[in-house]
Structure 1
């Protein structure tokens, strides 16, 4: 039987038989699961297209998450209004009209441009997403509550519809793992969009069939379920918002904390999001398998774990230990919140109102962490504040259970407040300044180690060091951290332009260490996307001020800035060296490493010039991809590794030099230290339409300093 014939027959059903009801159940389950699957595929596809405009920042994903939660709320609100205020026939007509509009608006390509408001990146991201994917996303978001209501009305309420919500989260979880593992690694971006659009058309056809079928069935009796007796009380309505809001805040806070303070691993955000979705599945699919008394006790253990981790924040645990611990803590905390949410579930006639409250709380939690916190706090206190809220919510939920739980959770709330205060003091002990922006938390510390330095200042982005300066014993003007004279960048800058002044472009400012290589007549231009980094580099470090070269700082994404210079043409002189030092942490700006990006750099580079890439990383091996890019562009490479020297403030560093200048790369100073690049089998060339980090992951990393990138 074809899908069209099946849809036609289902649309004519008024009183479903047992067989027809089984068929309807399968179709409802399929459409709900497909909608969630498409929803979670659309999220990374849209986010990937935004990265080039905003410098590859990890905050792009958090802001996208805020948009997704808010649009989910809008979809649930639409479903609630449709079910509560319109007749079945009107519901079918309205929803089919929405499906048609979504299909007509199916562009799915975000078109970032250099004129976007990079000074207000959050507003830019939200606006671009709303224009490009807003209507299809809203249609998919409304599917789960709307179809669950139709299913209950069609006679499916003999079995509670909550398992359908668990099924939708299972579809989301499947898409979450499938995208980086298979789709991103095998399909170019334009093919991802095409495949997604085909899937959306299939979804629309089946969803339309269910809409036609639902208009022929009148209101059904209330679901045969066992909701909480006080489900309609103001307390229950408040908890419908507070419980998912706390879980959403915890998801965003743990994701930020893992990326900034534990390990800057690409794709790490998948792990906490998977734990969050899994808690929904367990809570709504098999509540009897996880009794409440177990959930409460696991929450107490979870809070104790968070308390220890926050109190010992200055102690560095290996990522192999801390990431699983944080993920398990997040899972059990979210399982408590979602389990209590299920315990307070209403009857089927209030189903859409319940989901509306749930999505409202989730959106509020994402907004608080993703939008409010970066603008109100100078440091990352999100996790500590959220854990306090979690303890307070546990107190509210268990208040009716007796005096012992009240004392326990009151003490826990007070203890979490104390831990948060101690963490704030600990973060500020060595820091002389802490600032926070859309691009992350910046902190400058001042110590007296090593002794030879007398005073040492270090710039941190989260826990990643972005540069350091030693001020004593004549070390103030000496390059430090990753920029030793024996490093790849040091050799390139010393050897490239003997006999004439150098013109240098540097992508990524940090503390401005490259300016230490400047000599009279040289010209150095830094490209930096975060305005706060320039403020700190000029106010607390002296590399820019002390340099003998003419130093300039251009704010904005480096690739867009270089493209504007290339468009100007002969007015802008070409560079002798372009240093690319923006590949640290989990926010790998892939758009700076594609074939189109390499071609742009060559247009801004003298024929005998050199590109220098800082590829120092514990978790990614970028050398094979850059070797592939060099072969594609007809260039030669040299991979230079330099060791750490703590007495001079130097870190272990890996730099890759890329140039058409055969004589430069084969000079003895470079050739004698160059290492061969070990290629990864099956690796594909990155372009603006295709890239994948998964093949470049270092699954077994060498032990390095915690400060290593």
Structure 2
């Protein structure tokens, strides 16, 4: 038993350590989009499905000793893939089809090692059940989920803050080599336990019934629903609450905890308790979607609701688990359901839906499956009551989904984000058009009068970037750069003879800025647009000689860390004139980016000045904002007197600058 436990623990730990590690490796190549994580989960779930399919085939068709031989050979072959690393050549094609590119780079980097890790849990359980007749192998599944949760929780706390990505890769590769040795030893032990007369494929005992197709369908549906709700609620947390790694890990840890509790001992799934909590969980999510809540309460309520959903789905799965003879089929259906849920949220929904309809769909599926699993044991009046309740909840979810798009003149969604455009009337100076991502304003424009041409929100004349532009030489044409377009507000500063070069990764943003806002069309300046990740595009271009380069490429409050590293800053500074200014927008509800800016400026011998603007009730069109202006010390000394109120940023003692191999969002949490 200890050898089986060690192998299962190592495989599960490595399986879930590689997920955030490789996602962090490739995140900069895709603009730091939150969809990278969702697409990675789709890949990992699909690999898990392939692994379970392989184990089921192995268990059903090959004799025990041949199973050990084939698996040992594949383990040795997988060592050729070490050390794991993403191929940088994928950066060249990343923008053309980001979803397929993410899947491709993951397959090339970790495909075979991840596949073999994913096979270990069910394969070790099958070998254990064969070696120890009458023993229950399902506790090994609980052990694997415990190791998975420890891996997830330890990565942002113990690994990411202290090791660069290259060091993480080497440590993981060493751990994988140790796993291969342990798994090989288990295969050898299993080989020796099989007598020659048993060297045939296992036949089905006559008293063990085969699972029906209805059983398989229900297993897959329960697993799929839990997967949909995991990914949909994770998206809600990371986009609308706080886009930090902890909130990637928290939902997945709760999801795994439900597996641990349900599979370790069925008594942990107290059916009456969790079924009674289910309506409260539905009501809590409805409250969040309808009204919102303060951030701490929102995180707590979403986490509690997700845990209830997962306990019900996984608890009902465990109540229906088959004889150990069919455990490979059982796990195959679980992985099929998980993969289908991941593909629905990560691949189908962004292409098919203009808004995040996958969450209401997942909630309805959870309610529907609850009715299905209870149906047989209920009397007629209870059945009628449940059908009426299900119909009423379906109507309510339909109304919630309708509210996602009502009141907006445009809703658009793709790999990078969901964008919505609305029209509002807030009094003088009249109607305005607003672009939002999640709950974050990405620019607005008044529709009539002189206000139509006046920069506003985070880019008004009193903001740090507005003041920086007015501090530039006005006697000659200026060349301005802009990473992140939004509604195109900064184009309002353009004069005849000026050039404004804009870098935008999301083609939908560019389309909406041209079709529903007129900043670009109205600007007297020459407008140049470059479609692609701003940093990657600037790395490929010759020096641009910008008088000012404005960096505002964040989605909601999400921070693409690759835009703020020392290497990225070096690229930006290369494109500035000797007296040019780099303006970085760091307004954020959850993260304090001042230490990042200060450390980068100090490293490159520059001065960083913070211009924090508080909202003025007399000028509601001008929002509170924090801009950091980075320039040479000589340029800072030559700023006009009206710019002398900038706060110099000094590096925080002990703060480690962010690089392409190291960044730590925990160190900048507010």
Q: 1:231 to 1:325 in 2, by over 3 A?
A: farther
Note the alpha carbon deviations across 1:49-95, whole angstroms, 9 max, x for none: 11111100000000000000000101111111111111111111100
Is the Cα–Cα contact under 8 Å of residues 467 and 643 in structure 2 kept in the other structure? no
Query: Which 10-residue stretch deviates more, 110-119 or 341-350?
Result: 110-119
Residue 107 (structure 1) shift:
3.8
Q: Distance in 2 between matches of 1:234 and 1:141?
A: 25
For the pair 1:463 / 2:442, whether they are aligned, the reply is no
User: Are the aligned partners of 2:34 and 2:416 in contact in 1 as well (CA < 8 Å)?
Assistant: yes
Q: Is 2:113 the counterpart of 1:136? A: yes
Summarize deviations over 1:10-62 as a string: whole Å, max 9, x none. xxxxxxxxxxxxxxx12211211111110111111111111111100000000
Matches within 5 A, 1:79-478: 79-113=55-89, 114-155=91-132, 157-218=133-194, 232-265=211-244, 267-310=246-289, 312=290, 315-403=291-379, 404-449=381-426, 451-478=427-454
Deviations 1:397-453 (A, max 9, x none): 11112135533432332123212221233233321110110012110111101x013
**1:564 is aligned to 2:564:** no
1 CA distance for matches of 2:268 and 2:569?
Answer: 55
**1:413-562 correspondence to structure 2 within 5 Å:** 413-449=390-426, 451-562=427-538
Q: CA deviation at 1:602?
A: 1.6
In structure 2, relative to structure 1, the CA distance for the partners of 1:123 and 1:670 (3 Å cut) is: farther
Q: Does the alignment pair 1:589 with 2:565?
A: no
Could you tell me how far 1:287 is from its partner in structure 2?
Answer: 1.9
- Distance in 2, matches of 1:45 and 1:265, equals 15
Three-state SS of the structure 2 residue aligned to 1:185 is: coil
Three-state SS of the structure 1 residue aligned to 2:452 is coil
Report the Cα offset of residue 584 of structure 1: 4.6
Normalised by the size of structure 2, how large is the TM-score? 0.95
| Aligned with residue 76 of structure 1, among 33, 37, 52 | 52
Contact in 1 for aligned 2:602/2:651 (Cα 8 Å)? no
Question: Conserved in 2, the CA contact under 8 Å of 1:456 and 1:468?
Answer: yes
Could you tell me how far 1:614 is from its partner in structure 2? 0.3
- 1:125: how far off? 0.6
1:241-269 CA deviation, whole Å, 9 max, x = no partner?
Answer: 11101000110111112233344455422
Corresponding residue for residue 655 of structure 1:
627
**1:282 CA drift (Å):** 1.1
Q: Which residue pairs with 1:15 in the alignment?
A: none
The alpha-carbon deviation at position 234 of structure 1 amounts to: 2.6
Give TM-score, length-normalised by structure 1. 0.90
Contact 1:36 1:172 in 2 (8 A): yes
- Contact 2:566 2:658 (8 Å CA) reproduced: yes
Deviates more, 1:36-45 or 1:57-66: 36-45
Q: Does 1:635 align with 2:598?
A: no
- Evaluate the alpha carbon distance shift between residue 669 and residue 269 of structure 1 in structure 2; reply closer, same or farther with a 3 A threshold: farther
Q: 1:136 to 1:670 in 2, by over 3 A?
A: farther
CA distance in 2, matches of 1:51, 1:405: 50
State the SS of the aligned residue for 1:527: strand
Give the secondary structure class of the aligned counterpart of 2:501.
strand
Please give the secondary structure, in 2, of the residue aligned with 1:268. Answer: helix
Find the counterpart in structure 1 of residue 590 from structure 2. Answer: 619
| 8 A contact 1:378–1:435 mirrored in 2 | yes
Deviation per CA, 1:452-494, whole angstroms, max 9, x where unpaired?
1311111111112111112244211111110121211111111
Cα distance in 2 for partners of 1:613, 1:411 equals 54
Residue 231 of structure 1: how far off its partner (Å): 7.2
Gap regions ≥5 residues in structure 1: 1-24, 567-571, 699-709
Structure 1 residue 625: Cα displacement: 1.2
Q: Return the alpha-carbon distance in structure 1 between the equivalents of residues 222 and 637 of structure 2.
A: 60
Q: Contact 2:239–2:558 at 8 Å: present in 1 too?
A: no
Contact between 1:107 and 1:133, CA under 8 Å: does it hold in 2? no
The CA distance in 2 between the partners of 1:670 and 1:150, in whole Å, is 76
Task: Say if 1:434 and 1:441, in contact at 8 Å, map to a contact too.
Answer: yes
Checking the alignment, whether the CA contact within 8 Å between 2:30 and 2:94 is kept in structure 1 is no
Deviates more, 1:51-60 or 1:663-672: 663-672
Give the superposed CA RMSD. Answer: 2.1
Give 3-state SS (helix, strand or coil) of 2:409's partner: strand
Unaligned 5+ residue runs, structure 2? none
**Structure 2 equivalent of residue 684 of structure 1:** 656
1:12-51 alignment, distance < 5 Å: 25-51=1-27
Residues of 2 paired with 1:531 and 1:309: CA distance? Answer: 30
Distance 1:405 1:95 in 2: 51
Aligned length: 660
CA 505–267 in structure 1, closer or farther in 2 if over 3 Å, else same: farther
Judge conservation of contact 2:440–2:557 (CA < 8 Å) in 1. Answer: no
Q: Report how far residue 652 of structure 1 moved.
A: 1.0
Q: CA deviation at 1:674?
A: 1.5
Structure 2 CA distance for aligned equivalents of residues 300 and 406 of structure 1: 16
Change (3 A) 1:564 1:676: closer
Is the CA contact (8 Å cut-off) linking 1:231 and 1:344 kept in structure 2? no
Cα distance in structure 2, aligned partners of 1:87 and 1:229 = 20
Deviation at 1:289, TM superposition (A): 3.0
Poorly superposed stretches of 4+, deviation over 6 Å: 228-231
Q: Contact 2:420 / 2:436 at 8 angstroms: preserved in 1?
A: yes
Bigger mean CA offset, 656-665 vs 548-557: 656-665
- 1:559-603 deviations in Å (ceiling 9; x for gaps): 11111113xxxxx64111111102353532111111111111121
